[in-house]
Copies of this chain bind each other. A is one copy, B any other.
Amino acid sequence: MSGEVKKSSKTQENVILIGQKPVMNYVTATLVQFNGGSPEVILKARGKAITRAVDTAEILRNRFLKDVKVKGVQIGSEAITIEGQTKNVSTVEIVLSK
């Protein structure tokens, strides 16, 4: 069974969730995805991490993988509940392709 590539229907291998870590962590993670053969990588972020997602895409394109294109950017909202309070948080999805 070795060599079998299992893909769950929900997990997407090529999705990078952008959080609070330094931006270079996400640039590296994206590089690893592309170098591992993914033709497309999706950066997802919410709230204040949105800026970091854009930074990740730009640093990658300008410094590391100049052939990577921004295929699309989508914005949206999610309702999140923190300590009983529901509030809307903005989200972004940046689709990068080689």
Given contacts A62-B88, A88-B62, contact A54 B75 (CB under 8 A): yes
Complex: A75 Cα to B54 Cα, angstroms: 7
Give me the interface of A with B, judged by CB distance under 8 Å: 47-48, 50-51, 54-55, 57-59, 62, 70, 73-77, 88, 90-92, 94
Question: A54 to B50, Cβ gap below 8 A?
Answer: yes
> In this complex, what residue of B is CB-closest to A63?
B88
Given contacts A58-B88, A88-B58, contact A75 B51 (CB under 8 A): no
Complex: A88 Cα to B63 Cα, angstroms: 11
- Would you give 19 A-B contacts (Cβ < 8 Å), ordered by A? A48-B48, A48-B51, A50-B50, A50-B51, A50-B54, A54-B90, A54-B91, A54-B92, A55-B90, A57-B75, A57-B90, A58-B75, A58-B76, A58-B77, A58-B88, A62-B88, A70-B75, A73-B74, A75-B94
